[in-house]
Amino acid sequence: MKEGPDIARIGTLIGDPARANMLTALMGGQALTATELAQAAGVTLQTASSHLSKLEDGSLVSQRKQGRHRYFALADAATGSLLEAIMGFAASRGHLRHRPGPRDPALRKARICYDHLAGDYGVRMLDSLMQRGTIVSEGDDLTLTEKGRLDLREIGIDLEPLSSSRRPICKSCLDWSERRSHLAGTLGKALLSRFLDEGWARRSDDSRAIRFTKAGESQFLALFPLE
C-alpha cells in the first residue's frame, strides 16, 4: 500500500524478538533502564541500546534522564493497548512462546496491563460494572452512566481529574488470556491505584502479576459481584 498508515514499520518494530521482549517488560507500567531491558531481552547492552533507539524513533517508547541513568517506558496508553491486543490475537491463534509455567496462573488471574487491571479479575470487574449499569457498551465503546458516576463517588473515586485528562474515562482493552475485554482508560487506572493504595493487592517483584491479599480479595469480590 503506497498511501495511508505505515503498519509495516510498526509491525517490523514489534516483530523483532528482542524488541518484543522489551516491550512486554514495559507492559508493567514501570520505567526501566537499558540494562534491565537488555536482561529482559537476553541481549547485550549495546544491542539493547540500538533496539531502544529504533523503538523511540517509532514512538513506541519514551525516555527520561535521571542523574546518570536513562529510563525507558511505553510511549503512552495506546501503545499498551496495542500490545495487549496483539498478545490476545497471538494467543487466540495458538502462537504461544512457552509451555505454561508456575507464574502463569497468577498472571492469568490478575496482572497489570500498562496502568490498569487485566486477567480474570480485570474482566470480572468490567462485567460487574456493566451488569449493575455503571458502564454501558455499544460494541467496543464503553460509556460511564450517570448512575455509574454516583456509584463511583460512593466508593471514593474522584471523577473530576479523570474527566480532565485527554484519555477516555472508559476504554475497552482486549485481554490476551481471557480473550474478552477488561477496563482501561483513566477509570481503569484509578481503580487499580485504589486497590494498591488500600493494600488490597500488591505488584509482584518478578512479573506483571497483581497479587491480592486474602482480605483484599474478599473486598474485591464483594465490590464487583457477578450474577
Residue 123 is part of which domain span?
A: 102-223
- 29 and 113 together in one domain: no
The answer to whether position 109 is within a domain reads yes
136 & 218 share domain: yes
Could you tell me the pTM of the whole model?
A: 0.78
90 within domain boundaries:
no
Q: Is-contact 129 224, C-beta < 8 A?
A: yes
- Residue 80, domain member (yes or no): no
* Residue 202, in any domain of the structure: yes
Tell whether 132 and 23 lie within a shared domain.
Answer: no
**What is the full per-residue pLDDT of the chain (227 aa) written as tens digits?**
577 788 999 999 999 999 999 999 999 888 999 999 999 999 999 999 999 999 999 999 999 988 888 899 999 988 988 998 888 788 778 777 654 444 678 988 999 998 999 999 999 999 999 999 999 998 878 999 999 999 999 988 988 888 877 889 999 888 878 878 899 999 999 999 999 999 999 998 878 899 999 999 999 999 999 98
Judging by beta carbons within 10 Å of its beta carbon (0-12, 13-18, 19+), is residue 132 exposed, middle or buried? middle
C-alpha cell belonging to residue 147: 448512575
- Domain contains 41: yes
Q: Which domain CATH number covers 39?
A: 1.10.10.10
The structural domain count of the chain equals: 2
Is the torsion defined by CA of 14, 17, 20, 22 positive or negative?
negative
Query: What b/e sequence results for 193-214 when a residue is b if at least 16 CB atoms lie within 10 Å of its CB, and e otherwise?
Result: eebbeeebbebbeebbbbebee
Classify burial at 16, counting beta carbons within 10 Å of its beta carbon; exposed 0-12, middle 13-18, buried 19 or more.
Answer: middle
> Quick one: cell of 84?
495487549
116 and 210 both lie in a single domain: yes
Beta bridge partners of 112: 117
Instruction: Tell whether 188 and 132 lie within a shared domain.
Output: yes
Q: Does residue 24 form part of some domain? A: yes
